[in-house]
A = this chain, B = another copy of it.
Amino acid sequence: MIIDVHGHYTTAPKALEDWRNRQIAGIKDPSVMPKASELSISDDALRESIESNQLKKMQERGSDLTIFSPRASFMAHHIGDFQVSSTWAAICNELCYRVSKLFPDNFIGVAMLPQSPGVDPATCIPELEKCIKEYGFVGINLNPDPSGGHWTSPPVSDRHWYPIYEKMVELDIPAMIHVSTSCNACFHTTGAHYLNADTTAFMQCLTSDLFKDFPTLKFLIPHGGGAVPYHWGRFRGLAQELKKPLLKDHLLKNIFFDTCVYHQPGIDLLTNVIPVDNILFASEMIGAVRGIDPETGFYYDDTKRYIEAAKLTPEQRHQIYEGNARRVFPRLDAALKARGK
């Protein structure tokens, strides 16, 4: 079984974006603020948006199940206040839930949180609990920078975030650390902000003792861990300077990397440097990089090809494709087992 742990609903029907644009207009002019109930997307429209996109590519490429969350760049937590984020998150999560009901063998949800800059993360807990308990979602996406590139929140190791972590531990769910659109002109969203956030969050964990407070907390760092595996020697050396334990003991019981690295040499480095137990298969397909690589003739984001070509044993490949995902997402494992898988 091949589980892709990093999929976003980037292909949602255009009615969603239209509603969001009306909501954004409504922040300045409350008289035009739409109600959530004014968004209507049929099951057929959802089905079409998935069958002609993600599901088609999953079948072509040979993956079985995608862990599916709202479009990361559209979370845009910096827009409006908590109420705006709350309504928007509820709508986006419900759509992912409906996709998971329409295609129960192929999609299972991960929740976007209604974060808002300067607002206590504890306010996210009702939406989080609804998604896990009512929708059967198996994890959350946590944005370490709801300001969208201004980095005004405390580091992920700060007690500011502890209410979320307490709930994660209680519900036994991991968080993917994933920023959204950058509204800072310095940072291109998918070419700089995403990768920078991955590196930043890892280093925030490295300098802290967060996982002493939460020994079972699990973070998935996307995009192959940003710059981290490429600079693994630097991070090992920095941990040493800071008198921290070896990274394998200090962080690798709690931090995992996905395989969203869009060329063979990157995947080769990742699988060479990072223990296989800490690598989870993912493509973020129909995401930042949608083209075909002229050097290979295949889609850049067809990461399964790179895993197939990497120097790995069948057992190691199984860990990356399925075993680690079941371990990091215990509720996914339970859901699969409940279906006899």
Report which A residues bind B (CB closer than 8 A). Answer: 144-145, 149-151, 153-155, 184-188, 190-192, 195-196, 199-200, 203-204, 206-207, 223-224, 226-227, 229-238, 240-241, 261-266, 268-269, 272-273, 288-291, 293-295, 300-301
Contacts and interface: CB of A to CB of B under 8 A. Distances in A.
Q: Can you tell how many copies of this chain the complex includes?
A: 2
A6 to B, nearest CB: 14
A241 B289 CA distance: 7
B186 A199 contact: no
Nearest to A230: B230
Contacts of A191: 199, 203, 206-207, 234-235, 238
Contacts of A196: 192, 195-196, 199-200, 227
A15 to B, nearest CB: 25
B230 A224 contact: yes
- Output the residue of A195, A291, A295 with the most chain B CB within 10 A: A195
Contact of A261 (B204, B233, B261): B233
A229 B230 contact: yes
Contact of A266 (B151, B206, B233): B233
Given A186-B151, A227-B226, A233 B263 contact: yes
B223 A231 contact: yes
B187 A151 contact: yes
A132 to B, nearest CB: 28
Nearest to A186: B151
B266 A232 contact: yes
A288 B151 contact: no
A24 to B, nearest CB: 24
Contacts of A265: 232, 269, 272-273
Contact of A289 (B230, B238, B272): B238
A230 B232 CA distance: 12
A282 to B, nearest CB: 13
Contacts of A272: 265
A261 B231 contact: yes
A182 to B, nearest CB: 10
A3 to B, nearest CB: 22
- Output the residue of A190, A230, A263 with the most chain B CB within 10 A: A230
